[in-house]
Amino acid sequence: MKIATYNVNGVNGRLAVLLRWLDEAAPDVVCLQELKAPEEKFPKSAINDAGYHAIWHGQKLEWCCHSRT
């Protein structure tokens, strides 16, 4: 069994690179780091089309700005 990790640093911006790597390396299990994509923008279809099933857990980013008065 081949297990690999990959720091994508933004899955949508590097999707083509990720898919090429998956094809070339052909790992059985991949742990992706730094997806930087909310659940609704995760490219699940492209990952499935590459022959993988995605399970992920992320956090929702909340931006808050405070002004000093």
Segments making up each domain of the chain, as ranges: 3-49
- Overall pTM > 0.85: no
Q: What number is the average pLDDT over the span 42-63? A: 82
Q: What end-to-end distance do the CA atoms of the chain give, in Å?
A: 59
Instruction: Say whether pLDDT at 58 is over 70.
Output: no
Q: Which pLDDT belongs to residue 38? A: 84
Instruction: Give the DSSP H/E element, type plus range, for residue 26.
Output: none
Contact present, 3 and 28 (Cβ < 8 Å): yes
Instruction: Say whether pLDDT at 13 is over 90.
Output: yes
Q: What number is the average pLDDT over the span 52-68? A: 66
Task: Give the pair of three-digit tokens for residue 40.
Answer: 């609704």
